Amino acid sequence: MDKNRDDRLRFHRRELLVGAAYLTLGMSKAHATMIVGHLPWTPNAGNPPTAALPGPWMFFTGEEGRAIEALADCIIPPDPQTPGGKDSGSAIFIDRQLAGPYGRQEGLYVRPPFMKGTRSQGHQSEQGPAQEYREGLAALDRSCKARFEGKAFAMLSDSDKDAVLKGLECGEFTLDGADGKAFFAMVIRDVQMGFFADPIYGGNRDMAGWKMIGYPGSRYNYLDWVNRHNERFPLPPVSMTGRAEWTPQTR
């Protein structure tokens, strides 16, 4: 038992050095500190969110961008009161997410071996979201071109687009080189996420999604309202950066 213990510890120490090298790559900002006598606190030392910058695609190619914008408008079609997924920025939202830490699977456990598990064992693919979008969008356009006389998804008529997406959803329209059903489920989730996330991330432009449902945004105090039952909250939404009316020069 004791001999065993010693062997384990020796083995452990060697591995520890390897692990330590890995740590340097992973955590650059963090610094271990010693805390004594008072709360460690420096003014304005926070870590505010990184805003999505306007401008051209950062992750998508032009072709992919057209496809994702078309998808965004099918998932959230424009109507007279509220813009659709494209004009409210869901495609930009997804692009900026995929170009950032999320797309790179930053912080996730990506060590091999990759094996196919049961459904209840969760996502096990080696591919991150960026790769899944790249392959999924390419496969979607390939399959559409094969089926609709060389037309990419974005070029299809509205009714053909809907038919393709309904087919993907129920598994009848399959993609060559991607799991169409899982891919479309991911796009639905992300387009809708962009529509309801804070506008700082590029979607939900002018808080269109929040206005549509009556969500007041990042207000912080409802003390006066918790006891007002079954009465509509009257104030318009605010985002983390405030309201356009408050800071006209930024718009």
Partner 1 sequence: MAKILPKKDVVIIGLGWTGSIMANELTDEGLEVMAIERGPWRDAPTDFPPDYMQDELRYRVRHELFLRPDQLTFSFRNRIDQTALPIRSWGAFMPPNGVGGGGVHWNGEMWRFLPSDFVLKTHLTERYGAAFLPEDMTIQDWGITYDELEPFYDRFEYLCGTSGTAGNLRGRIMEGGNPFEGSRSRPYPTPAQAQPFSHTLFGKAARELGYKPFPQPSGNLSQAYTNPHGLRMGPCTYCGFCEWFGCSNYSKASPQTTILPYLVRKPNFSARDHSEVTRINVDKSGRRATGVTFVDSSNVEWEQPADLVILAAYTMFNVHLLLHSQIGKPYDPIANTGVVGRNYTHQTISSVNGFFDNKKYNFNPFIGSGSIGMCIDEFNGDNFDHGPHGFVGGGYMGQVQTGARPIESTLVPPGTPKWGAAWKTAVKENYLSTVKPGTGVHGSFYAYRDIYLDLDPTYSDRFGRPLMRITMDLKENEVKQNKFLTDKFAEIIKTMGADKLAIQYRTAPYDISTYQTTHLNGGAIMGTDPTTSALNRYLQSWDVSNLFVLGASAFPQNAGYNPTLTVGALAYWAAAAIRDKYLKNPGRLVDA
Whichever of 31 and 251 has its CB closer to partner 1, that residue is 31
What does the CA dihedral 58, 62, 67, 69 come to, rounded to 10 degrees?
60
Please pick, from the candidates 198, 205, 206, 243, the single residue that binds partner 1 as defined by CB under 8 A.
198
Whichever of 144 and 165 has its CB closer to partner 1, that residue is 165
Cβ 63 to partner 1 shortest distance, Å:
22
Distance between CA atoms of residues 206 and 66, nearest Å: 22
Q: Which residues neighbour 17 within 8 Å (Cβ) at sequence distance 6 or greater? A: none
Q: Which stretch binds partner 1 (CB under 8 A): 15-23, 58-66, 133-141, 146-154?
A: 15-23
Work out whether 236 is an interface residue with partner 1 (CB under 8 A): no
Distance between CA atoms of residues 78 and 235, nearest Å: 24
Work out whether 41 is an interface residue with partner 1 (CB under 8 A): yes
Work out whether 217 is an interface residue with partner 1 (CB under 8 A): yes
Distance between CA atoms of residues 121 and 8, nearest Å: 29
Work out whether 3 is an interface residue with partner 1 (CB under 8 A): no
- Map the footprint of partner 1 across residues 109-128, applying CB under 8 A: 109-111, 113, 115, 117-124
Q: Which residues neighbour 30 within 8 Å (Cβ) at sequence distance 6 or greater? A: none
Whichever of 149 and 231 has its CB closer to partner 1, that residue is 231
Work out whether 251 is an interface residue with partner 1 (CB under 8 A): no
Please pick, from the candidates 48, 54, 56, 150, the single residue that binds partner 1 as defined by CB under 8 A.
48
With tokens 């790249």, the residue in question is: 134
Work out whether 170 is an interface residue with partner 1 (CB under 8 A): no
- Map the footprint of partner 1 across residues 134-153, applying CB under 8 A: none
Distance between CA atoms of residues 192 and 184, nearest Å: 12
Whichever of 61 and 222 has its CB closer to partner 1, that residue is 222
In Å, how far are 22, 33, 78, 96, 226 from 27, measured between CA atoms? Answer: 9, 14, 43, 22, 42
Q: Which residues neighbour 64 within 8 Å (Cβ) at sequence distance 6 or greater? A: 57, 133, 134, 137, 138
Please pick, from the candidates 45, 55, 80, 235, the single residue that binds partner 1 as defined by CB under 8 A.
45
Cβ 100 to partner 1 shortest distance, Å:
10
Number of residues that bind partner 1 (CB under 8 A): 94
